[in-house]
């Protein structure tokens, strides 16, 4: 109750700067909705043109990653201050693709979350189990560990302002959406974990998204669940479907 919905697109490694501007122009009228926070998380090189193209609309721009140092000799990385200066409001941290392909650990993710708060960026921290883990029945143990380590040193006030995205790895890009029951069950358990860490008020305030093959058919049922406050959308955020998902 009282939590504002948030639907974010994660473009992943798609769209050149030119294509990015064209996509924003196409989606602008379709995602117009003042009751929902709408976020486009885009590749670093697309951030500046997307911020410009989205100026004056309800679209907020997010990054897909950032580094946990302020600046310095970290070739190829993007600093939090650069994101802020470019007009970024949100940053995805710890996406499962970054955990898997770029070996990010819960400890790295914790450093990034803390650094994001230092710069007033809102972290969208991703958690989620593999198919193996689900089949072994350790989904909740695994996710509780991701949440607890990811949030070490985060204050209750900070936690209340952030977003956690539950993305089961087996549902990402597979066309296999988790059932609404599966998604609600884990999102509710994440909220219980936040309640244990910070208390009721923070647990009621934090926004929890579901991600993994969200599409125009599954979005409205998912977003109607008590503990699901919106979605983190991959493939479907790159087309007109994203408008229908925002409005679901
Ligand atoms: P898909 O919606 O393409 O499954 O991707 C989900 C995701 O990883 C969003 O971060």
Asked if residue 232 has its Cβ within 6 Å of ligand 1, the reply is yes
Given this model, what pLDDT does residue 177 score? 84
Q: Model confidence over 12-55: pLDDT tens digits? A: 999 999 999 999 999 999 999 999 999 999 999 999 999 999 99
**Which residues carry out catalysis?**
95, 167
Burial 192-216 (b: 16+ CB within 10 A, else e): ebbeebbeeebbebbbbbbbbbbbb
Domains contained in the chain, CATH given? 5-246 (3.20.20.70)
Global pTM value: 0.98
Asked if residue 235 has its Cβ within 6 Å of ligand 1, the reply is yes
CA of 233 to the centre of ligand 1 (A): 5
CA of 7 to the centre of ligand 1 (A): 12
Asked if residue 173 has its Cβ within 6 Å of ligand 1, the reply is yes
* H-helix segments, 33-78: 47-54
CA of 211 to the centre of ligand 1 (A): 6
| pLDDT score of 2 more than 90 | no
Given this model, what pLDDT does residue 175 score? 86
DSSP for 170-199, please give it.
Answer: GGTTSS-PPPHHHHHHHHHHHHHHHHHHH-
Chain-centre distance for alpha carbon 17 = 21
Q: What is the 3-state secondary structure (H, E, C) of 83-122?
A: HHHHCCCEEEECCHHHHHHCCCCHHHHHHHHHHHHHCCCE
The closest-lying atom of ligand 1 relative to the alpha carbon of residue 171 is 4
Contact 89, 116 (CB under 8 A): no
- Under the banding of pLDDT at 50, 70 and 90, the label for residue 176 is confident
Asked if residue 7 has its Cβ within 6 Å of ligand 1, the reply is no
């Amino acid at each position: 109750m009282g939590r504002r919905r948030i639907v974010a697109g994660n473009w992943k490694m798609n769209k050149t700067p030119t294509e990015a501007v064209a996509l924003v122009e196409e989606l602008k009228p379709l995602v117009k909705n003042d009751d929902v926070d709408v976020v486009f998380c885009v590749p670093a090189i697309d951030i500046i043109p997307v911020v410009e193209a989205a100026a004056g609309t309800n679209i907020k721009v997010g990054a897909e990653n950032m580094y946990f140092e302020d600046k310095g000799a970290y070739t190829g990385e993007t600093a939090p201050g650069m994101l802020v200066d470019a007009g970024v409001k949100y940053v995805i941290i710890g996406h499962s693709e970054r955990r898997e392909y770029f070996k990010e650990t819960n400890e790295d993710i914790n450093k990034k979350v803390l650094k994001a708060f230092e710069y007033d960026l809102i972290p969208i921290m991703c958690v989620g189990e593999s198919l193996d883990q689900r089949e072994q029945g350790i989904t909740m143990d695994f996710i509780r560990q991701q949440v607890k380590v990811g949030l070490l040193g985060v204050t209750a006030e900070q936690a209340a302002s952030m977003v956690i995205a539950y993305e089961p790895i087996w549902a990402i890009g597979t066309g296999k959406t988790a059932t609404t029951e599966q998604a609600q069950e884990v999102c509710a358990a994440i909220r219980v974990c936040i309640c244990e860490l910070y208390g009721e008020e923070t647990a009621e305030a934090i926004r929890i998204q579901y991600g993994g093959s969200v599409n125009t058919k599954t979005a409205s049922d998912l977003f109607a669940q008590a503990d699901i406050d919106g979605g983190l959308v991959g493939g479907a955020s790159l087309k007109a479907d994203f408008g229908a998902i925002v409005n679901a």
